[in-house]
């Protein structure tokens, strides 16, 4: 009985791997198009990918620390610190001392950065809406229905990375 279960698990694992091989390039391509076209269409500065990812994270999690950013983005703390310095100097981020622990510095987006992110996200929505208009009703419904699954997948991937970082 155990051998049959292993065969089923092996087959399920192969199917999952095949699904992952199909999904990964498609999701990566979508991410790349949005990342670069959104800033261009919004008419904003063009940030390198690592800076944009950092800004998006701080935008989503204001008050984050450099160490958390480094862990969550999979970057070295020294690289994140250098990137943060540049973004502070450019007027995109603010550093604030933690009121409960003066040794801790928390990062927040500036008003300029908040406005810029809103423009980028609106540009992304326009790009996406134009592309969605080319899909069939069935394709559009399938994509909309997949949103909860994609959010869960993102959470699982973040948790996997966090767990891997904890073991390192």
pLDDT at residue 6, rounded to an integer: 54
Mean pLDDT of the chain: 85
Do the beta carbons of residue 60 and residue 70 sit within 8 Å?
no
Q: How far is it, in rounded angstroms, from Cα 80 to Cα 50? A: 9
Domains of the chain: 2-134 (1.10.10.10)
Question: Contact at 8 Å (CB) between 116 and 42?
Answer: yes
- At 87-144, the pLDDT tens digits run 999 999 999 998 998 889 999 999 999 998 888 888 888 888 998 999 999 999 999 9
- Rounded mean pLDDT, 131-159: 92
Which has more pLDDT, 140 or 12? 140
Which of 73, 65, 74 lies closest to 95 in space, CA to CA? 65
- pLDDT confidence of residue 5: 47
> Above pLDDT 90, what percent of the chain?
46
3-state secondary structure string across 33-56 = HHHHHHHHHHCCCCCCHHHHHHHH
Which residues contact residue 43 at a Cβ distance below 8 angstroms, ignoring those fewer than 6 apart?
Answer: 119
């Amino acid at each position: 009985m155990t051998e049959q279960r292993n065969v089923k698990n092996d087959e399920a694992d192969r199917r999952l791997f095949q699904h992952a091989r199909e999904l990964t390039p498609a999701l990566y391509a979508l991410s790349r198009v949005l990342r670069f076209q959104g800033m261009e269409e919004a008419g904003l500065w063009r940030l390198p990918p690592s800076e944009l990812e950092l800004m998006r994270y701080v935008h989503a999690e204001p008050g984050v620390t450099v160490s958390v950013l480094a862990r969550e983005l999979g970057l070295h703390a020294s690289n994140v610190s250098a990137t943060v310095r540049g973004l502070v100097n450019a007027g995109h981020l603010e550093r604030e001392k933690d009121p409960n622990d003066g040794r801790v510095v928390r990062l927040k987006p500036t008003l300029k950065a908040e406005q810029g992110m809103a423009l980028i996200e609106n540009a992304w929505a326009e790009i996406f809406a134009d592309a969605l208009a080319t899909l069939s009703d069935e394709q559009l419904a399938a994509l909309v229905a997949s949103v909860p699954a994609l959010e869960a997948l993102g959470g699982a991937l973040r948790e996997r990375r966090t767990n891997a970082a904890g073991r390192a």
